[in-house]
Amino acid sequence: MNEELVSIRNILKDTRFKLHEQANVIATGVGYKVTEGKKTSILSIVCSVIKKLTPPQLSGKDTVPPIIDGISTDVVETGPIRALSYTGRYRPAPGGVSIGHMDITAGTLGCLVKKDGKAHILSNNHVLADSNNGLPGDYILQPGPYDDGEFPGDRIAQLEDFVPISFQEPEPPGGCGTARALASLLNFGAKVIRSKTRLQAITIRQAENLVDAAIALPIDEKDVSDEILDIGKIKGINEGAMGMSVKKTGRTTEFTTGEILQVDVTVDVQYELGKIARFADQLMAGAMSEGGDSGSAVLDTDNNLVGLLFAGSDTTTIFNRIQNVFSALGVGL
Amino acid sequence: MSPSIEDVKKKYTQRLLAMPGVISVGIGKDPEGLPVIIVGLERPQPETQKKLPKTLEGYPLHIEIIGKIRAQ
């Protein structure tokens, strides 16, 4: 290794700790100094900062000295470095990161929506409202409890409103589920042969849900960002349609893309404790999510919002139509 | 006039979902791009698969094994 480089590395080793104590410095290394956008041949100690500041915004003790032990320094603005991935603590918190009601594990902060002119966090009922168990005013943590989000330090918002999920009534042991299914099967046949005498099962028609959605009001509006990680700002909304290419950023699988393969989907979704809820008018894409991605905003290729992700299997991802979400919660962009 | 695929899907959804193993009913496309009704099964279910009709009022019915759908 070149002698100059070795000596700079040693100097950095001695001063690194002190540099990292300065506000803003998030990384240090050795590199060629860049002056007026051009790489020079001068080896320097490079300090990466979230945002470049100059006095008086920056106090003297937090200013990186221009020269350390005869070696030039270079300050580079990199923005936050996502070494912690999407499960870390973010302020301001953008869409795509871990979030959750105090009593759950963790889900995803979808995006910001407006209600009565105020910005709210949009995610699922089962993320922000603990599947109907939450009460307005409950604290929401970023990151979520599973990602070491703690009360009170990581509070970011308070539950404002949610659309209750209607769960299927558990069948009593030896219940009539089988009989009902059988009657249905027979009715299929009856339909085909146009029989007038059709078997009537005791039909307990469970309510169909359209959305798994909730909103939370940030404690401080400055703690949230209207951008979504890896995606950017939302342009508008669009109607999800068959064959549409979509994308999302979520806590677990981060940035992924997919295609809408089915529309007008009616689907039975398993929740915790074996509870099942039936949803209608859903959109189905191929596999593009896993546990923890719930609440992700789903967008088309032009950054229009089309859905709110909430469920999936090994081969599918299910999301609510954003139009249904907005009208159920009375929110907009 | 023949009913739309949306109407046909709607008409049979509850009955399809009452069959053992059926967890979803939606509208998709076959490889040729023609609209089909797609029934999702959690896992292979020979009994149900045997009983499902090939078409519903003229619209093809496809079966897909999609695994358990969980809230994520």
Which tens digit of pLDDT belongs to each residue from A47-98? 888 788 877 788 877 888 889 998 999 988 877 665 557 999 999 999 999 9
Contact A104, A110 (CB under 8 A): no
Phi, psi of A135 (to 5 degrees): -120, 145
Determine, for residues B40 and A187 on separate chains, whether the beta-carbon distance falls below 8 Å. Answer: no
Nearest to A209 by CA among A283, A271, A266, A124: A266
Determine, for residues A270 and B68 on separate chains, whether the beta-carbon distance falls below 8 Å. Answer: yes
Residue B72 within any structural domain of the chain: no
How much is the pLDDT for A196? 45
Asked if B50 is an interface residue toward chain A (Cβ–Cβ < 8 A), one would say: no
Residue B53 within any structural domain of the chain: yes
Of A181, A242, A313, the CB nearest to B67: A313
3-state class percentages of chain B: helix first, strand second, coil last, to nearest 5: 25, 35, 40
C-alpha gyration radius of chain A: 26
Nearest to A328 by CA among A276, A284, A280, A259: A280
Contact A263, A131 (CB under 8 A): no
Of B27, B51, B70, the CB nearest to A270: B70
Cα-Cα-Cα-Cα dihedral sign, residues A129, A134, A137, A141: negative
Residue B70 within any structural domain of the chain: no
Asked if B54 is an interface residue toward chain A (Cβ–Cβ < 8 A), one would say: no
CB < 8 Å to A253, chain B: none
pLDDT tens, residue by residue, B8-60: 999 999 999 999 999 999 999 998 999 999 999 999 999 999 999 999 999 99
ipTM of this complex > 0.85?
A: yes
Number of domains, chain B: 1
How much is the pLDDT for A193? 45
CA B2 to chain A, closest CA, distance in angstroms equals 16
Nearest to B25 by CA among B15, A322, A99: B15
Q: How far apart are CA A323 and CA A114, in angstroms?
A: 14
Residue B44 within any structural domain of the chain: yes
Determine, for residues A315 and B17 on separate chains, whether the beta-carbon distance falls below 8 Å. Answer: no
CATH for B21: 3.30.300.50
How much is the pLDDT for A19? 86
Residue B21 within any structural domain of the chain: yes
Asked if A287 is an interface residue toward chain B (Cβ–Cβ < 8 A), one would say: no
Outline where A213-301 has alpha helix (H).
none
Task: Give the domain extent around B20.
Answer: 5-65
Chain A from 197 to 236: CB within 8 A of any B CB: 201, 205, 212
Cα dihedral: A31, A35, A41, A47 (round 10): -20
Ranges of residues in chain A whose predicted pLDDT is under 50:
175, 189-204
Residue B71 within any structural domain of the chain: no
Beta carbons within 8 Å of A331's beta carbon, 6+ residues apart:
A113, A114, A115, A120, A122, A215, A325
Determine, for residues B24 and A184 on separate chains, whether the beta-carbon distance falls below 8 Å. Answer: no
A136 preceded by a cis bond (ω within 30 of 0): no
Residue B11 within any structural domain of the chain: yes
Distance of CA A323 to the CA centre of its chain: 19
Residue B24 within any structural domain of the chain: yes
How distant, in Å, are the alpha carbons of A26, A27, A75, A302 from that of A23?
Answer: 9, 11, 13, 37
